[in-house]
Structure 1
């Protein structure tokens, strides 16, 4: 098998089972990926609840994930982050404490850490070498979730570090794509680039048409409720920003103009400084309280 070949799925391969858990506050979907009761599992993009008005965190969303894992007697092998999210705090450290597993992300997180270490003046509290994470995936790196073959796919554009994870016949695309009637993610964060996102999406859409694609978020129109699963074929036919009839030039023009109109995500300031630390909070100060920073006039 060539290094860039898709993950092989044969009749003897167990089915890839996917349990979505939707957080309506952040419109984020956390996934538990497994092959049946008692199997190993991966948890993708777990959410830590955070109230920006009070600065309080809670684990209701993460506890739902843990309850599903325990109910099905799953063993947690991986805690997979598709990127350093700007719209929610990661619950990966909490779930690692509860369930085990390796907190993992793409190796280009080092670049994102370097940028935001400067923005937040974090100094030595963030290394910018990725060592806060248990594992850094390289592009096309192969791994397993129990009996399920998997690979990491570098799909930059939204941020420089975005990964998609293919596990069996399912691909978890992070913010690289949204549902066909929503389109694509913004590209105006540091290191983002619309040309790069277009090429990353084409990489995903070169997979077989029946390949299942799972979104990290859904921001549905009023005509429907939240949806998280589509296919390569559906995206190629119907994605309003990135279907097969859209050229790179047209996409970049649309995306750039649209991004100029967008406000910053509500939780970008708390989320980024936590998530580049693999979801870990800053150390307590001498009064025992942990503090997050708000840089003024910096973004």
Structure 2
């Protein structure tokens, strides 16, 4: 099957792209084209106009600052996967990138495209939710910042307006000092080119990596594909603070995840299996993050 006929624009600047979005309300943005093209080819979507933003090089960057990491929306998965400095400060982001599909997809796909799509199985939405990040979006009306808690609303439904474009995403560094923090992204999937059955992103800071039983100072967790939006159990994680990360504490988190998970059945994984695996991978991500924090590295 082929897509229906459409108009095509390839602007050279953010300003030109925003003008097109304002003028054509039903236009769709084309970034890495790792999802939209497939959807259009199967006629699940038939936009009348595509605005190709692949020339917007100003939106492709990784800026590591003392208080936060900001990543441009057009930054490719491959760039993040191979970014050694980023791996030093927030390792889960390169780990999330390197587990996306195969090399061809990682060479073309972008962080902004993935977050705009907001598929609950996507790696970046899960990572963004775990780290408490923010989205910086622009339109002809100006700029605004959307906290991640306000961005994801429902299954592939977000707070992004039709005339807005994601310019960048920022992740706070302040709760995660490199010398005593660890982070991790883990996932279960059938093969490289498939979506994960479940995934989990976590970050843990401990009080003193050199002690015999380091205490959890901060713990963050999000589980992907366990519901319409990334799943968090913040109240349960707060109970971990001030204590070592024991097997009993991890089981408490797993129980909370299983209680709150509401995934859809899939061909190769029914709802009950996904609920069980959501708890398991939540534990794996937290344990890996804690071990890295205790080792004095991220």
Output the TM-score relative to the length of structure 2.
Answer: 0.25
Question: Which of the two has greater helix per residue?
Answer: 2
Output the TM-score relative to the length of structure 1.
Answer: 0.25
Computing the radius of gyration over CA atoms, which structure comes out larger, 1 or 2? 2
